[in-house]
Amino acid sequence: MGNRKIKKTAMLLCIFFGWFGAHRYYTEKWLTAILYTATLGLMGFGWLIDIALIAADQFMDGSGQPLLKASDLAGGAYGVYAIPPQKVQPVPVPDAPTVKLTPAPVRTVQPAPTHTVQPVPTHKMVTRFYTCPLCGKEQTQYIDENKTFAFCTGCGQKIDLMPKTVPGESKARPQSFTVTAYNGTEPFIFVSYAHRNSDKVVPIIAKIQADGYRVWFDEGIDPGTEWDTNIANHVRGCSLMLAFMSKEYLASENCKDELNFARDLSKNRILIYLEDVELPDGMAMRLNRLQAIHQYKYEDQKDFYEKLYNSPDLQSLR
């Protein structure tokens, strides 16, 4: 079969470029194509006649054959001629040799040894209070519960946090207290204090806890929680507030907010003076009726704790 031309292609060329004989160049009718180019499709009349001839399947190509229609093409794809199916003769395949397979020996796979996973030890952060044996500075540090040493923030001396018996001394040095904030549903004490007074307040918290009282202070705030919300929730939930008064306390807006919020909630409050400070008139007017204990005046701290524990507000908090 020769290089047959397609009807649809010839029709498109005739419609858009028939004035110049494009469809005749396509169907290899060279002489008339040149004539169409020179005469603008024989002044348009020849162009219109060719459109009618192509539409009526009367237009022949240069070899005298009619143009191919869509039904003449295989698969409906233009440019691919329909080819009658041919019978394919099967190719003889020689018989394959018989192969005897020998089964592989069975091997016993030993199970992998199991390893016991040791649980990861949990670490709890606690506040330690101690006195440096070198420079005598009293201080607190928030450290891992399992940590056995710390460094003095004053002189850098390494301090052993494990109590040891020292010959000739009645108690181990340095002093060490472990305090943790109460976390439960029973009545508890809320401690309101300025962080700059931690060296004075933490030993008192440790003593109160050691004597069986439930105490919460802001070391019990979980990381990632809203500080203000957590403080307010614990003020609301406490049965008694101990407010440690000092110059630093009166200068702290947060401390005064805690005290005022407890007053608004009608919470029982005890003022513990760490030093001789004078309250502003407005605060004095609101707090003078509260029980106050001047801790700094007691030479023997046993008397201070006896005074504190005799308060009826503490009786149900242990």
Tens digits of residue pLDDT in 45-80: 877 888 888 788 888 887 778 878 777 665 544 444
Q: Is the pLDDT of residue 193 over 70?
A: yes
Domain assignment present for 90: no
pTM of the predicted model as reported, rounded to 2 decimal places: 0.48
Class of residue 50 by CB neighbours under 10 A (exposed 0-12, middle 13-18, buried 19+): buried
d(C-alpha 265, C-alpha 104), whole Å: 84
d(C-alpha 317, C-alpha 305), whole Å: 15
Q: Do residues 137 and 193 both lie within one domain?
A: no
Average pLDDT over residues 172-200: 83
Domain assignment present for 2: no
Average pLDDT over residues 274-300: 90
**Highest-scoring range by mean pLDDT, 10-14, 67-71, 245-249:** 245-249
Q: Is the pLDDT of residue 234 over 90?
A: yes
Can you give the residue range of the structural domain that contains 166?
A: 123-177
Domain assignment present for 107: no
Cβ-contact 144, 175 below 8 angstroms: no
Domain termination site, one of 59, 76, 93: 76
Q: Do residues 160 and 232 both lie within one domain?
A: no
Domain assignment present for 1: no
Q: Do residues 145 and 170 both lie within one domain?
A: yes
Q: Do residues 238 and 198 both lie within one domain?
A: yes
Q: Domain count for the chain, please give it.
A: 3
Mean pLDDT score of the chain: 79
Q: Is the pLDDT of residue 173 over 50?
A: no
Q: Do residues 188 and 306 both lie within one domain?
A: yes
Q: Do residues 34 and 128 both lie within one domain?
A: no
pLDDT category, 262, cuts 50, 70, 90?
Answer: very high
- pLDDT at residue number 37: 83
Cβ-contact 90, 99 below 8 angstroms: no
